[in-house]
A and B are shown apart, each in its own frame.
Chain A
Amino acid sequence: MSHLMGGFQGVLQRIGRSFLENIAVFGRGSLFILSLLSAVPSVLFRMDLLLKQIYIAGVLSLPIILMAGLFVGMVLSLQGYNILVEFNAEEAVGSMTALSLLRELGPVVGALLFAGRAGSALTAEIGLMRSTEQISALEMMAVDPLKFIYAPRFVAVIIALPLLVLIFNALGVFGGYLVSVSWLGVDSGAFWSQMSSQVDWQEDVMNGIIKSVVFGVLIAIIALFQGVNAIPSSEGVSSATTRTVVHSSLGILGLDFILTSIMFN
């Protein structure tokens, strides 16, 4: 009996502890986000830092985004063609490709790739800077790491991701054009006119852009928070990097559902 009670107490204790730990993480996270936001205006005075971070987050992610955009567009229109051709509606392949890209696949796949490419790099970089005492050294040199390290990266990610998603979308549409018009012989005029009559500027394009901005904020916060809270050792940094990719990916998919249900309802 007492053994049972002990087990029960143990379970309760564990639940209680993990609850408290989660609250603590949540609290630290909120404080971190607040201090990040408070440091955002300082980025305006340090364009040199911002540009460098946009280069690292955005320009260096271009190759993967370009390739992925092209291939996703090509696959989409190939699959779409095979289905639509049965209903003699293969001209609709353009609008189908464009709609899937602009509404869902562009922001989601773009953000997932970005989280894997730039988010993980960000966490690793900050974790390493902490474990090699570079952050402490900055503080000691009277340079605020919040303004010098975190805020420029935060803003850079939020700027870079929507631009990357736009490029991804444009390349995806182009890939769709290549496959359906140049390869499968869909009429070029019908391809474009169907597309532009179906794709709405505000509903589809703008909502897609809003999604990518939201995903950018999510990735930036997760990547920075994991970097700052990484245990300063090589295992600590590597597991924080993994957590960044896992948490951002799940966050992106979950938020995408929520945003879609708000936007397209």
Chain B
Amino acid sequence: MKKQTKVEIWVGAFVLMGFMALAYIAFQVSNFSDWKDRPTYEVSALFDNIGGLKERAPLKLSGVVIGRVDSIKIDPVSFKAKVNMQIDQAFNQLPIDSSVSILTSGLLGDQYVGLEPGGDEEVLQQGSEIEMTQSAMVLEELIGQFLVKFSESD
């Protein structure tokens, strides 16, 4: 029976190691900690152009992640891109006239949604729509605008 005890201890240690590895991967390696079912509320925004924005891209306020892009669809009425975002319930005091814009982290980094708070008394809540949006910057358009301005000032 001594042999059986040794087997049990080793298997116990093995299973424990496996779960420790899982915890390490969950908390250190992956985004598990912000994937947990924290209460969120959903808001949406219409963009002319979302550029390379993807689902699950972060929504940042002053560089701090406060939510994630949930889904990206085409609004059937306006034919604009409708971006639904889940915002952490902890940030439920955001003014309703806040604006969102699609930004890029670094020159070649991933795109994210940046939120600029407004000044209204009323706050964003479940189902609100953010009116003021700024589309992703598209390099070609940017150059085009620059050329136009350049020729006007001439």
Contact = CB atoms under 8 A, between A and B. Distances in A.
Whether chain A touches chain B in the assembled complex (some CB pair under 8 Å): yes
Interface of A: 48, 51-52, 54-55, 58-59, 62, 87, 89, 98, 102, 160, 162-164, 166-167, 169-171, 173, 192, 195-197, 199-202, 204-205
B60 to A, nearest CB: 11
Contact of A55 (B10, B20, B26): B10
Contacts of B26: 201, 205
B129 to A, nearest CB: 27
A92 to B, nearest CB: 9
Interface string B1-44: 00010011011011101111110111011111101000000000
Interface residues of B, number: 27
Of the candidates B22, B29, B35, the one having the most CB atoms from chain A within 10 angstroms of its own CB is B29
Contacts, number: 85
Contacts of B19: 166
Contacts of B28: 173, 192, 195-196
Nearest to A203: B56
B148 interface: no
B114 interface: no
Contact of B56 (A58, A89, A173, A200): A200
B31 A170 contact: no
Interface string B36-77: 000000000000000000001010000000000000000000
A54 B12 CA distance: 10
B108 interface: yes
B7 A205 contact: no
Contact of B30 (A62, A89, A164, A200): A200
A166 B25 contact: yes
Given A89-B108, A163-B14, A196 B8 contact: no
